[in-house]
Each structure stands twice: as structure tokens, then as C-alpha cells.
Structure 1
């Protein structure tokens, strides 16, 4: 990934937190038939390997799991908040006019050698933990155990697990850090003006741009 130093994020806990908040990763493999990519929800377990281990499951009908069993490396891309930046938000536009549009975003890329897990016990734990990660905050959380055991067992027979010990991981937070303070403030206030659609990016620009609340 292209990594200008001011956008680089190497802190593992911050990278893992983005994965937890935005767990739908793009799983990319390069097999005999070329590149293949599928969006897949992941869990990250920080205790299973030095940089953490990604866990997921795929439909058995999805041919990508067969490629995962054969390749030495795969890539998973996690996309965090992202949003367009209009030059109209920059103070520099009024001063010189020498501005262009851009895009702000936060992303994490993780590489590793995938391990296919075709085991009912592993898969049951995987779907329970993935479900709990999204349901726990609900007033009436749904649990895998709420469904009939025979039904769950049949669903498990239709999926295959994948475990990816992370060998390399990169984070990139491109949130206007390269702009002068007045421009950063303009971008922050611009996102706030877009309401809910801009809130997440506004907060990243504020945090990474060293801006106060005023």
C-alpha cells in the first residue's frame, strides 16, 4: 500500500480496533484462475499470534476456500470511515486557489498464510463469537443457540472456516494531516455540516489534526 509517512498507522491496537469496528473485510487471493475477491466478515483474535489472527467462514459453495487451501498468502482489506473532501472547505482556496479535491479514509491491510478449518466444533465457536460480537449491544440479542440444534448443524455443514495468522499488517489514516491547520479545521467543520454522514470522518480529522472542540 502506498504509505506517505504522515498517514501511516503502525500501532497494532489501533489497527485491530478498526477491524473490530469494520469487520467486513475484502478477502483477496491470487490462484490458478487469477485474482478473486469476496467480502467476508472477520473476527480478530490478538492472542493467537504475534500480530493477531483473523477468523472467518465462507459458504462451501464459494470456490475461494479451495484456493485458500492452496495459496501461500492472501490479503484482507478492511475499510474504515471514508468520505470526499471538497476544495471549498479549504482556507487555501480563498488565499491562492491552488487546491484540488481528494478523499479521506482509514484502512487496514493484513496479509497471511490461510488455514482452512473444516471442523464442526471450530465452526460452531466461530459463528457464535461472530454473532455475539454484533448482537451483544442489542436490548434483545439473538444467539446461535436460539435456533434448533439440527438446523444449526445443517447450516454448519454448508460452511468452511478460515484462520489467517497475520504475518504483515499495515494501517493508513489519510485524514487531512498533510494540510495546513486552517484547511484541517475547514475539513472538520465541513464534515460536521454533513450531519450523520460526516460524523465519523469529522472525528478522525479532529483527532489526527490536533484540533480542539471549539
Structure 2
């Protein structure tokens, strides 16, 4: 991922926090069929290994798990908040007009080689943890144990789990840091005033500062 120094995010706890706040990741591998990608919910154990370890599962019918089994390095993309930045947000537009559109975004790329597993007990623990994470905020959370045991046993036979220790992490937080403070303030205010919730979300990541 191209990451100019001004936008680089190197703090491990912050990188891990962004990973944990991303509900759906993209797993990319290269193998005999070429490039493959899957969209997956993942769990991060931040204390396992130097950068943490990711856990997830693929359908057994999804041949991408064979790339992992064969030792292919995997890229896992965690795409965070993002928004289009209009030149109209910049006070500099009125001053000299030398402005162009851009896109601001937050993203983390994790790299590593995974171990795959099909052990039913380990898979059950994984899908239970994933379910509990995403059901936890509901008034009446659904639990894996709510389904018939023989049905769950059959579902577990149809998936392959993986554990991916993170070897490298690259983070980008592009929030107009290369602009003047007045332009940064204009970007934050422009996004915050948008009717698009995605713009409003990114606005909250842009720190406030004194206008120039």
C-alpha cells in the first residue's frame, strides 16, 4: 500500500483497534488459480504474536483455503472510514484556486501466512466467538447453542478455519495532513455538514485545530 510518511500509521495499539472496529475484511491470496479474494468477518487476538493473530473461516467449497494451506502469503485488508474531499471544502480555493479533489480514508493491511484447521472443537470455539461478538449488542442475542447440535455439527463440516499470525502491518490515515490547518478545518466542517453518514464518520477522525 502506497503510504506517504505524512499519512503513515505506525502505532500498534491503534492499528489493532482499527482492525477490531472493521466488521468485514478482505482476504487476498495468490495460488494456482491466480489471485483470489474473500470478504470475511475476522477475530483478532492482539496478544498472540508480535502483531496479533487473526482468526476466521472459509467455506470448504471455497478453494481459497488451499492457498493458505499451501503456504501462500495472505494480505488482509481492513478498510475503515472514507470520504470524497471536494475542493470546495478548502479556503485555499477562494485564495488562489490551486486545488483539486481527493479522497480521504483510513486503512490497515495485514500480511502473514496462515495455519488451516478442521478440528470440530476448535471450529466451534471460533464460530461461537464470532457469533458472540456480533450478537452481543442485541437485546436478545442468538447463540450457537440455540441451534440443534447435530445441525451445527453438519455446518462445521462445511468450513475450514484458519489462524493467521500477522508478520507485517501497514496503516494509512489520510486526513488532509498535507494541507494547511485552515483547509483541514474546512474538510472536517464540510464532511460533518454532509447528509451522508459515511462523510460524518470520517469527519470525527479529523482533529480540530486553530484556524490560520
**Could you say whether these structures have the same fold, taking a TM-score greater than 0.5 normalized by the shorter chain as the test?**
yes
Residue 78 of structure 2 corresponds to which residue in structure 1?
Answer: 78
| Rounded Cα–Cα distance in structure 1 between residues aligned with 2:200 and 2:134 | 21
Residue 173 of structure 1 corresponds to which residue in structure 2?
Answer: 173
Q: CA RMSD in A?
A: 1.2
| Rounded Cα–Cα distance in structure 2 between residues aligned with 1:155 and 1:72 | 26
Residue 133 of structure 2 corresponds to which residue in structure 1?
Answer: 133
Residue 162 of structure 2 corresponds to which residue in structure 1?
Answer: 162
User: 2:16 aligned with 1:45, yes or no?
Assistant: no
Residue 22 of structure 1 corresponds to which residue in structure 2?
Answer: 22
Number of equivalences: 209
TM-score (norm 1): 0.94
Residue 202 of structure 1 corresponds to which residue in structure 2?
Answer: 203
| Rounded Cα–Cα distance in structure 2 between residues aligned with 1:138 and 1:32 | 42
| Rounded Cα–Cα distance in structure 1 between residues aligned with 2:73 and 2:198 | 35
1:67-97 CA-to-partner distances (Å, cap 9, x unmatched) read 1100341110110001100000001100010
Tell me if structure 1 keeps the 8 A contact 2:25–2:79: yes
Residue 114 of structure 2 corresponds to which residue in structure 1?
Answer: 114
Structure 1 stretches lacking a partner, 5+ long: none
TM-score (norm 2): 0.95
SS of 1:50's partner is coil
Q: What is the deviation of 1:134? A: 1.1
| Rounded Cα–Cα distance in structure 2 between residues aligned with 1:139 and 1:78 | 28
Residue 184 of structure 2 corresponds to which residue in structure 1?
Answer: 184
Structure 2 stretches lacking a partner, 5+ long: none
| Rounded Cα–Cα distance in structure 2 between residues aligned with 1:211 and 1:123 | 48
SS of 1:205's partner is coil
Tell me if structure 2 keeps the 8 A contact 1:23–1:43: no
| Rounded Cα–Cα distance in structure 2 between residues aligned with 1:192 and 1:121 | 47
SS of 2:162's partner is strand
| Rounded Cα–Cα distance in structure 2 between residues aligned with 1:53 and 1:211 | 36
Q: What is the deviation of 1:23? A: 3.1
Tell me if structure 1 keeps the 8 A contact 2:81–2:198: no
Q: What is the deviation of 1:174? A: 0.4
* Structure 1 residue ranges (4+ consecutive) displaced by more than 2 angstroms after TM superposition: none
| Rounded Cα–Cα distance in structure 2 between residues aligned with 1:69 and 1:177 | 41
| Rounded Cα–Cα distance in structure 2 between residues aligned with 1:133 and 1:17 | 15
Tell me if structure 2 keeps the 8 A contact 1:31–1:71: no
Q: What is the deviation of 1:197? A: 3.1
